[in-house]
């Protein structure tokens, strides 16, 4: 029987059972906690057919770092963000150079702000500034690539494709430094950042953001390196290529399909970016996936932290060009139900019928008004951060049969076991 389980871990992690296969979408903060949750709540698990990482934020990716070590089950495929390819060769072969570059950019940033510019901002405000900068830089680079493609390329070909992606990153690992050596480089960078903050050579909040970039670099390197060491197949899903064409492609048709990315067949040759842009996990680029519904079962949309749109206020929906399914879907609450991503709610509800929103992760700042405005039958939670409920898995049975395929749809057939959502 198909089902969706929101695992009771810190951060966000969902397990989908479909066609007798298991798909894990994100891993929360901590690998040990994740492995324990999988053992406890999915007793029959011997194999994860697909493990998806939607983006590099720690509450989604941290738990995937050593999952392969703690797990007593096998992993067949890892689906990772294509943006990581922009930094991975360097991260694997020359982690010290990446850290030096990052420190150099930190020193350089100071000239760009006056103390007054950022005086009133808290850590989150700083985060927004740098993420917006990273997103803007990537957009500029894409516009350049678009021109290049228009100018040089005939129908059906592209000049931005590098070598085939099938042996990436395996082909990089030959001369890569031992893991311990790279760990020393990351630690050296962290010390250098803290030193600058202590000596007032860097703003404390900016330094904190840079420490996050070092952590992201470490997560990306370790996930890729462990996949290679354990012989797990890696598939890459790129938001940047989607942003150029607006047509998502790849994945497994009818089983799990990308909504805002293109599965890469070749390593793209792209404009050089700053390390800030390469290592900032921009929410706009968070990967979203779709397990389509049919007569026998509900579908699932995995939103991660994606606003499911871009442009001003993320108002241009990624779903515009996509035919809506005939049957309802269950949705993971975008960005943990945060009000920042309220626009994703509009994109989804104007696209198709939503049977249920499942919320997990996040802090007491989330969820926002749009989530709390849902009726109690339309939402489920692993814990309601403001009510201090202990984490509990939320399970949604996705199997039919369904009598009608349009509202009013016979809701009681939806089998949900979760906390009665007390988010208010
Ligand atoms: Zn998140
Ligand atoms: Zn709740």
pLDDT, tens digit, 9 for 90 and up, residues 351-382? 999 999 999 998 888 889 999 999 988 999 99
Average pLDDT over residues 246-265: 96
- Measured distance CA(381)–CA(418) in Å, rounded: 6
> Looking at residue 180, what is its pLDDT?
79
Q: How confident is the model at residue 154 (pLDDT cuts 50, 70, 90)?
A: very low
Q: How confident is the model at residue 281 (pLDDT cuts 50, 70, 90)?
A: confident
> Looking at residue 155, what is its pLDDT?
45
Strand, helix or coil for residue 279: helix
Ligand that lies nearest to the alpha carbon of residue 58, given by its number in the listed order:
1
Q: Which residues surround ligand 2, an ion (CB under 5 A)?
A: 381, 384, 421, 423
> Looking at residue 325, what is its pLDDT?
93
> Looking at residue 159, what is its pLDDT?
46
Q: What is the mean pLDDT of the chain?
A: 88
> Looking at residue 252, what is its pLDDT?
96
Q: How confident is the model at residue 419 (pLDDT cuts 50, 70, 90)?
A: confident
C-alpha of residue 383 to centroid of ligand 2, in Å: 6
Strand, helix or coil for residue 181: helix
- pLDDT tens figures, 45-91: 999 999 999 999 999 999 999 888 877 889 999 999 999 999 999 99
> Looking at residue 403, what is its pLDDT?
47
> Looking at residue 395, what is its pLDDT?
93
C-alpha of residue 13 to centroid of ligand 1, in Å: 10
C-alpha of residue 422 to centroid of ligand 2, in Å: 5
Q: Which two tokens stand for residue 299?
A: 């579908």
Tell whether the model's pLDDT for residue 160 goes beyond 60: no
Q: Which of 401, 283, 381 is nearest to 332 (CA)?
A: 381
Could you tell me the pTM of the whole model? 0.92
Q: Which of 172-181, 200-209, 311-320 has the lowest average pLDDT?
A: 172-181
Number of H helices, E strands in the chain: 13, 19
Q: How confident is the model at residue 412 (pLDDT cuts 50, 70, 90)?
A: very low
- Measured distance CA(272)–CA(267) in Å, rounded: 14
Strand, helix or coil for residue 373: coil
C-alpha of residue 10 to centroid of ligand 2, in Å: 15
C-alpha of residue 363 to centroid of ligand 2, in Å: 11
- Measured distance CA(343)–CA(360) in Å, rounded: 18
Ligand that lies nearest to the alpha carbon of residue 389, given by its number in the listed order:
2
Q: How confident is the model at residue 402 (pLDDT cuts 50, 70, 90)?
A: low
C-alpha of residue 77 to centroid of ligand 1, in Å: 22
Average pLDDT over residues 398-421: 65
- Measured distance CA(383)–CA(8) in Å, rounded: 8
C-alpha of residue 59 to centroid of ligand 1, in Å: 6
Q: Which of 137, 329, 191, 344 is nearest to 260 (CA)?
A: 344
Share of the chain above pLDDT 70, in %: 92
**Of all helices (H) and strands (E), which one includes residue 259?**
none
């Amino acid at each position: 029987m198909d089902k969706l389980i929101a695992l009771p871990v810190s951060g966000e992690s969902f397990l989908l059972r479909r066609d007798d296969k298991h798909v894990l979408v994100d891993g929360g903060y901590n690998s040990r906690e994740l492995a324990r949750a999988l053992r406890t709540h999915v007793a029959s698990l011997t194999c994860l057919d697909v493990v998806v990482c939607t983006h590099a934020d720690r509450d989604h990716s941290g738990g995937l770092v050593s999952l392969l070590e703690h797990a007593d089950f096998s992993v067949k495929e890892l689906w990772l963000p294509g943006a990581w390819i922009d930094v991975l060769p360097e991260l694997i072969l020359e982690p010290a150079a990446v850290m030096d570059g990052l420190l150099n950019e930190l020193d350089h940033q100071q000239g760009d702000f006056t103390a007054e510019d950022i005086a009133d901002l808290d850590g989150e405000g700083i985060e927004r500034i740098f993420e917006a900068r990273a997103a803007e830089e990537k957009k500029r680079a894409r516009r350049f690539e678009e021109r290049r493609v228009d100018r040089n390329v005939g129908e059906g070909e592209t000049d931005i494709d590098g070598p085939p992606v099938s042996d990436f990153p395996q082909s990089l690992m030959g001369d890569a430094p031992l893991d311990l050596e790279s760990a020393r480089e990351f630690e050296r960078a962290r010390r250098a950042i803290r030193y600058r903050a202590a000596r007032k050579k860097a703003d404390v909040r900016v330094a904190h953001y840079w420490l996050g970039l070092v952590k992201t670099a470490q997560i990306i390197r370790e996930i890729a390196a462990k996949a290679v060491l354990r012989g797990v197949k890696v598939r890459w899903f790129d938001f940047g290529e989607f942003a150029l064409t607006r047509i998502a492609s790849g994945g497994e048709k009818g089983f799990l399909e990308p909504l805002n990315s293109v599965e890469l067949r070749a390593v793209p040759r792209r404009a050089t970016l700053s390390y800030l842009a390469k290592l900032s996990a921009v929410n706009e680029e968070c990967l979203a996936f779709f397990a389509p519904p049919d007569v026998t079962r509900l579908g699932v949309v995995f939103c991660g932290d994606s606003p499911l749109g871009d442009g001003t206020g993320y108002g241009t929906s990624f779903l515009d060009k996509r035919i809506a399914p005939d049957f309802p879907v269950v949705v993971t609450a975008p960005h943990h139900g945060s009000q920042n991503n309220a626009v994703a709610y509009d994109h989804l509800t104007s696209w198709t019928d939503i049977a249920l929103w499942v919320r997990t992760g996040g802090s007491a700042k989330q969820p926002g008004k749009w989530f709390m405005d849902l009726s109690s039958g339309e939402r489920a939670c692993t814990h309601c951060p403001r009510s201090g409920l202990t984490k509990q898995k939320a399970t949604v049975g996705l199997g039919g049969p369904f009598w009608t395929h349009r509202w009013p749809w016979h809701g009681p057939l939806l089998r949900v076991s979760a906390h009665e959502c007390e988010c208010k």
